[in-house]
C-alpha cells in the first residue's frame, strides 16, 4: 500500500462545542493522522487505519468529522480546494478521501 500524505493548515478543530484551535493543522504522514494546534502542539493522533472520517449530514460543506482514539472532532476546512498557488485549506471532501486512501479503504 502506498503511503498517502496530506496536510491542511488553517483548520478549525473543535471537540464537542469547544474550539481547540482556529488555525490548526491536520496531517497524514507515515500512516498516522495528527491533529495539531497552530503552534504545532499535538492535540491527538492515531494510526490512520483506526481513524474514521465522515461528512456530517447536518453541517456546511466545509466541515468533516474525525473519530480519533474514541474522540469525535469537528474539522472546518474549506468548501472547495483553493486555486493553484492560492493559500487556504483543502476541501473537507479531499480530507475524507485522503483518510480513506491512506487506510487502504479506497476512495
CA distance 102 to 21: 25
User: Tell me: the pLDDT tens digits for 12-26?
Assistant: 999 988 999 999 999
Per-residue model confidence as pLDDT tens digits over 34-88: 999 999 999 999 999 999 999 988 777 889 999 999 999 999 997 667 777 776 6
Which residue is it, cell 466545509?
A: 62
Query: In the predicted model, is pLDDT for residue 1 greater than 50?
Result: no
- Global pTM reads 0.85
> What is the secondary structure of 12-58 as a DSSP string?
EEEETTEEEEEEEEEEEETTEEEEE-TTS-EEEEEEGGG-EEE--TT
Rounded to an integer, what distance in angstroms lies between the CA atom of residue 15 and that of residue 76?
A: 12
**Of 3 and 89, more confident:** 89
Q: Would the pLDDT of 2 be above 80? A: no
**Which pLDDT value is given to residue 40?**
93
Amino acid at each position: 500500500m502506498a503511503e498517502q500524505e496530506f496536510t491542511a493548515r488553517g483548520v478549525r478543530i473543535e471537540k464537542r462545542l469547544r474550539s481547540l484551535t482556529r488555525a490548526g493543522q491536520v496531517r497524514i504522514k507515515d500512516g498516522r493522522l495528527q491533529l495539531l494546534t497552530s503552534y504545532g502542539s499535538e492535540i491527538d493522533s492515531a494510526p490512520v487505519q483506526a481513524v474514521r472520517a465522515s461528512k456530517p449530514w447536518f453541517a456546511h460543506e466545509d466541515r468533516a468529522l474525525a473519530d480519533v482514539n474514541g474522540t469525535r472532532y469537528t474539522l472546518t476546512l474549506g468548501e472547495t480546494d483553493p486555486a493553484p498557488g492560492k493559500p487556504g485549506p483543502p476541501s473537507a471532501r479531499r480530507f475524507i478521501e485522503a483518510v480513506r486512501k491512506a487506510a487502504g479503504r479506497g476512495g
